[in-house]
């Protein structure tokens, strides 16, 4: 199901109504664990430094399970974190209300983010992929306008149980990075993750586009790192990441993240032409 771009643009100017469209709402417990681990890891400083530790789970779906998990995981970083799950479908919000507690709430809304204050983190997973590619930039801007200083908007996609996960991180001004996180044993080649790329990139995996070049480089480095397989896939993936870094790719973080099956690169490496 792909939503029409013009409907989102029209809704934006219709004050008082949520911006966006109802999505399928499919979700599963623990589906976002790989992203949550990144938010509670290398990005935890943003939450610690925030004067207003407000986090939004935008479009959490038919079940609020992943919003509850986000609240619990980020609570280990900052005890006074406030997580608000936002859904455009009122019935989903009514069903989630029973789970509210201090620091965790649910509201009806869309990309306009109907909350008081500026969130430091906004997570929208498996939401934008149901819209037109032409609408993505406008949606990004709408959310970016609401971010707190130092805040991030996460636009991501994953498979049904969170084995293959990708996300784009954006600050208030621009896209910052692309991250990919995989469960070892869930792929033959790293490029298998292409089917789970965010909407801004999923149609760009063709020769001549930067994301295609990165995925091909990952495959080559993975195959060349085959001798490390005898020590396990963690060591092989780490060798692949190091080869990419040595080859001039703007790889972020380091071995501690690579061993988790994670790779983050600067947006300039994959930005569509």
- CA proximity to 56, closest of 7, 137, 111: 111
Percent of the chain at pLDDT exceeding 70: 94
pLDDT score of 9 more than 80: no
Q: What are the counts of helices (DSSP H) followed by strands (DSSP E) for the chain? A: 10, 8
Rounded to whole angstroms, the Cα distance separating 14 from 245 reads 46
- In the predicted model, what is the mean pLDDT of the chain? 94
Model confidence at 273, pLDDT cuts 50, 70, 90, reads confident
Tell me: the pLDDT tens digits for 203-226?
A: 999 999 999 999 999 999 999 999
Rounded to whole angstroms, the Cα distance separating 205 from 67 reads 31
> For tokens 């947006």, what's the residue?
267
Q: What is the DSSP letter of 28?
A: -
- CA proximity to 174, closest of 208, 200, 209, 211: 200
The strand ranges marked E within the chain are 54-58, 82-87, 104-108, 121-125, 152-158, 164-170, 175-182, 262-266
Token pair belonging to 247: 């080859």
- This prediction's pTM: 0.93
Q: Count other Cβ atoms within 10 Å, centred on residue 245.
A: 17
pLDDT at residue 4, rounded to an integer: 52
Token pair belonging to 83: 């997580």
């Amino acid at each position: 199901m792909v939503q029409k771009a013009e409907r989102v643009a029209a809704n934006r100017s219709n004050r008082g109504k949520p911006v966006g469209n109802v999505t399928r709402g499919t979700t599963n417990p623990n589906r976002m664990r790989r992203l949550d681990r990144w938010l509670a890891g290398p990005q935890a400083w943003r939450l610690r430094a925030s004067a207003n530790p407000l986090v939004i789970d935008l479009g959490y779906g038919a079940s609020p399970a992943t919003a509850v998990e986000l609240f619990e995981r980020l609570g280990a970083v900052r005890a006074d974190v406030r997580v608000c799950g936002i859904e455009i479908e009122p019935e989903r919000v009514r069903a989630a209300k029973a789970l509210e507690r201090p620091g965790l709430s649910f509201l009806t809304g869309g990309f306009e983010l109907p909350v008081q204050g500026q969130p430091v983190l906004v997570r929208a997973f498996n939401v934008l992929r149901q819209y037109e590619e032409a609408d993505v930039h406008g949606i990004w801007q709408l959310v970016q306008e609401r971010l707190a200083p130092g805040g991030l908007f996460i636009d991501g996609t994953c498979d049904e149980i969170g084995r293959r996960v990708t996300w784009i991180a954006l600050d208030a001004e621009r896209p910052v990075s692309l991250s990919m996180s995989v469960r070892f044993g869930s792929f033959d080649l790293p490029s298998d993750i292409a089917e789970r790329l965010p909407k801004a990139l999923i149609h760009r995996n063709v020769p001549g586009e930067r994301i295609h070049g990165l995925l091909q480089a990952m495959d080559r480095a993975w195959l060349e790192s085959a001798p490390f397989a005898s020590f396990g896939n963690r060591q092989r993936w780490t060798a692949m990441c190091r080869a990419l870094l040595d080859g001039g790719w703007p790889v972020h973080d380091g071995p501690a993240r690579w061993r988790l099956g994670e790779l983050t690169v600067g947006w300039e490496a994959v930005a569509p032409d």
